Amino acid sequence: MAYELSEEQEALRAQIQQMAVEKVAPRAAEIDREGDFPWDMQKLLAENELLGLSIPEEYGGSGASLLSNCIVAEELARACATTSLIFVVQKLAAYPIVLAGSEEIKQKYLPPLARGEVLAAFCLTERGAGSDAAATKTTAVETDDGYLLNGEKCFITNGSIADTFSTFTMTDIDRGVRGISAFVVEKEFPGFSVGPVEDKMGLRGAQVSEVKFEDCLVPKENMLGERGSGFITAMKTLDSSRPLVGAQAVGIAQGALDVAVGWAREREQFGSSIGKLQGIQFMLADMKTRVEAARQLVYRSATLCDNNDPELSLFSAMSKLFASDMAMSVTADAVQVLGGYGYMKDQPLERMMRDAKVTQIYEGTNQVQRVVVARRLLGKL
Ligand SMILES: Cc1cc2nc3c(=O)[nH]c(=O)nc-3n(C[C@H](O)[C@H](O)[C@H](O)COP(=O)(O)OP(=O)(O)OC[C@H]3O[C@@H](n4cnc5c(N)ncnc54)[C@H](O)[C@@H]3O)c2cc1C
């Protein structure tokens, strides 16, 4: 399925690029150094109506395509991966509600998320259920008053600062993956709490923590979709979010390439610019080629998602896999182009390299993406 960026999408890219250069990039190093959540960036995204970009118009959002969302994630990540993640996680966590929530639940929870008044979190991973997400041990037991949730989720982005939590639990253990049910949980529900914020390699401004449910009472109407449909909701959500992680990776790599090209022009050794050295030229040429190849795959996978194409799971996995591996190697090569300067914290490249790493891990590691691709290639053996 072919795609072409519309005039609106090119204009959106130009708008985000300008905003990123003027307001996001100048904050990136400080956000990384301080490790606090950048509320000013959250406000900037909300004021520019970006936190509701993916939410349907009838619930206060813009209802933009996934391709448009990818362009925004990419341009933000080019300047600051943490800021891009604020945008990406709002979409990730709102999507189970969009996909499976009742009309009342959508009307209740989506408009404040679309306005960016509150943040959302996506709660799937547990200590014993990472790649094997179906092994979830968090339980939800039906009572007369609602469902009682018990368990702990870990590595939850926005865990300590979100108000709205799309949460995946086991309601019927004997039914395996068909026993998983999704709920929307509010931070004010009794029995809900959060653990300490994790100290991480990269994405230093993102607040990642445990969230805990101790006899946490959730109203029955907060179940998203049918009882037992939670795993399908989670997988569909990840299918439509992995292209955004791919876009984030493309943006980080493009940001690193921008710095490396500028440096190769200016830096002189042996009496002339290092950009005249064929060894440097070839590195830059390979980096550019790989960034562009990943971008095309990400845009294609987003287009397939937008058209509900049967190939979307495959392409979504391939785009996240290829783009994140590319971002890891392009950021490392960019450090190399700067030599010792690339290793120092007063240049942005070591931050970009640390930020790139997580795109190979979250929303399913790249080994898991390879499993998805191989299964499609080989079928049932
Ligand atoms: C910064 C950050 C933010 C995150 N945010 C969220 C969030 O908001 N919400 C959320 O729910 N989760 C979140 N996660 C969790 C993330 O999705 C998991 O870390 C990821 O899915 C991997 O799970 P795990 O860490 O338990 O690794 P494990 O599953 O323990 O994997 C360990 C290793 O084994 C490999 N492996 C596992 N299974 C296979 C297999 N079948 N074949 C081959 N290799 C395999 C993996 O690829 C990996 O290399 C976040 C993680 C990080 C680091």
> 10-residue block means of pLDDT along the chain (381 residues)?
90 98 98 98 98 98 98 98 98 98 98 98 98 97 98 98 98 96 98 98 98 98 98 98 98 98 98 98 98 98 97 98 98 98 97 98 98 95 87
pLDDT at 292: 98
pLDDT at 3: 82
**Cβ-count burial of 373 within 10 angstroms (0-12 exposed, 13-18 middle, 19+ buried)?**
middle
CA-proximal residue: ligand 1, atom 44 (nearest)? 367
pLDDT at 142: 98
238-378 CATH pick, 1.10.760.10, 1.20.140.10, 1.10.10.10, 1.20.120.430: 1.20.140.10
What is the Cα–Cα distance from 107 to 109, expressed in whole angstroms?
6
User: Which atom of ligand 1 is the closest one to the Cα of 153?
Assistant: 11
- Cα-to-centroid distance, 258 and ligand 1 (Å): 30
Angle between helices 349-358 and 81-100 (to 10 degrees): 20
Strands 147-157 and 208-218: antiparallel
Domain boundaries, the chain: 7-115, 120-230, 238-378
Apex CA 288: angle with CA 284 and CA 291, to 5°? 135
pLDDT at 1: 73
pTM over 0.95, yes/no: yes
> End-to-end CA distance of the chain, in Å?
29
Overall residue count recorded for the chain in this entry: 381
Of the candidates 119, 134, 116, which has an alpha carbon nearest to the alpha carbon of residue 238?
134
pLDDT at 381: 87
**Assigned CATH topology for domain 7-115:** Butyryl-Coa Dehydrogenase, subunit A; domain 1 (1.10.540)
CA-proximal residue: ligand 1, atom 40 (nearest)? 368
pLDDT at 2: 76
- Cα-to-centroid distance, 186 and ligand 1 (Å): 25
Answer whether CATH 2.40.110.10 is correct for domain 120-230.
yes
Choose one of 361, 366, 372 to mutate for the ligand 1 pocket test, by most ligand atoms within 8 angstroms of C-beta: 361
| The two structure tokens encoding residue 381 | 């053996």
CA-proximal residue: ligand 1, atom 9 (nearest)? 156
Question: Does residue 230 contact residue 308 with C-beta atoms inside 8 Å?
Answer: no
User: Which atom of ligand 1 is the closest one to the Cα of 129?
Assistant: 26
pLDDT at 132: 97
CA-proximal residue: ligand 1, atom 41 (nearest)? 368
- Cα-to-centroid distance, 368 and ligand 1 (Å): 9
Angle between helices 349-358 and 230-266 (to 10 degrees): 160
Tell me which residues have their CB closer than 6 angstroms to ligand 1.
Answer: 122-125, 130-131, 155-157, 200, 203, 208, 358, 361-365, 367-368, 371
| The two structure tokens encoding residue 241 | 């979010």
Of the candidates 211, 229, 247, 226, which has an alpha carbon nearest to the alpha carbon of residue 91?
247
- DSSP state, residue 16: H
Query: What's the alpha-carbon Rg for the chain, to the nearest Å?
Result: 21
What does the CA dihedral 229, 234, 239, 240 come to, rounded to 10 degrees? Answer: 100
Tokens 């900037």, residue located: 44
